Amino acid sequence: MILKIDVQMHYAVQSQTDIILQIAVPDFADQRVISEQLVLSESLHSASALAESGFGTRRLLYVEKDFECHYTAQVAIDRPLIDIASLTALPPHRLPDDALRYLMPSRYCQSDELQNFVEAEFGGSTGGERIAGIRDWIFERFRYSADSSNQHTTAVDSLVHGQGVCRDFAHVLIALTRASSIPARFVSGYAPYVSPPDFHAVAEVYLDHAWHLVDATGMAASNQIARIGVGLDAAEVAFLASFEPIMLQQQTVKVSLEE
């Protein structure tokens, strides 16, 4: 199937500032960019750098005027739907080097504080069965609310309040997965049927020697998601970061599915 992506952004810039932009979809084994175009407003400097884990790229910009961006792409997704509950987990001593990092607690995913909680709630399950149980538990108990969190909200905060946006759902799933000694990482991406339309955030867990996408919001099937980037949590995969104040003027993210 093919995703058609159209992103438009406009931010008012008050003074010269550096901007890090990560919105382009990279080629990977299970996703292929058919076509894409990135149009950026004038900048004083522009360069590219590899993103976290070498997955995708970041655009490094230095701007002094309003920042505008238009990104369009067609992406072919070739990823089978897999029953996550049927997969097995590897013990930490058998994990590959690049998965070990994603066992660690991070700024938004305090897995070291949740080990007793995850054993009390999900102690009767292991591997993919536990991941499916955590996913379903979040989906059933959490309320999706656009005004319920901010850039300071952590997985523990979201657990206490039982609400959040896709970013928060992903952080909770990641934290509880890491507390279960299973690697999990944050994924920014595009998916159809996201409501309200926006960039989407899901988790990716390491089971049976591979990474598998898991969406606790229930809005995106794993075979309909185009990854932008991966990281320990949202702090490493922001679609836009600025080093001086900027003000949102307009932003739209449109994703449609062409089977």
| Segment 107-145, tens digit of pLDDT | 999 999 999 999 999 999 999 999 999 999 999 999 999
Span 148-166, mean pLDDT? Answer: 94
Could you tell me the pTM of the whole model? 0.96
Residue listed under structure tokens 């320990």: 232
* The pLDDT of residue 146 is above 90: no
* Cβ atoms within 10 Å of 173's Cβ, excluding its own: 28
Mean of the per-residue pLDDT values of the chain: 96
Q: What does the buried/exposed string (b/e) look like for 51-83 if buried means 16 or more CB atoms within 10 Å of the residue's CB?
A: bbbebbbbbebebeeebbbebebebebebeebe
- When pLDDT is averaged across residues 197-219 and rounded to a whole number, the result is 97
Cα–Cα distance between 61 and 85 in angstroms, integer? 43
Residues 33-45 have a mean pLDDT of: 97
Mean pLDDT of 235-254: 96
Q: What's the whole-number mean pLDDT along residues 235-248?
A: 96
Q: Which are the contacts of 188, defined by CB distance < 8 A and separation ≥ 6?
A: 22, 199, 200, 201, 227, 228, 229, 230, 234, 237, 238, 239
Residue whose C-alpha is closest to residue 13's, from 62, 76, 48: 62
State which amino acid sits at residue 146.
A
With contact defined as beta carbons under 8 Å apart, do 27 and 73 qualify? no
59: tokens are 């655009």
pLDDT of 8-20, one tens digit each? Answer: 999 999 999 999 9
CA atoms within 13 A on the CB side of 239: 22
Contact present, 134 and 109 (Cβ < 8 Å): no
Which residues, other chains included, contact 151 with Cβ-Cβ below 8 Å and sequence gap of 6+?
A: none
Query: Does the pLDDT of residue 30 top 70, yes or no?
Result: yes
Mean pLDDT on 173-186: 98
Q: Model confidence at 259, in pLDDT bands (50, 70, 90)? A: low
Q: Is 63 helix (H, G, I), strand (E, B) or coil?
A: strand
Interval 190-219 mean pLDDT: 97
Q: What percentage of the chain's residues is helix, strand, coil (to nearest 5)?
A: 25, 40, 35
40, pLDDT greater than 90: yes
Query: What pLDDT is recorded for position 123?
Result: 93
Residue 258 has pLDDT above 90, yes or no: no
Q: What whole-number distance in Å separates Cα of residue 214 and Cα of residue 36? A: 26
219 pLDDT higher than 80:
yes
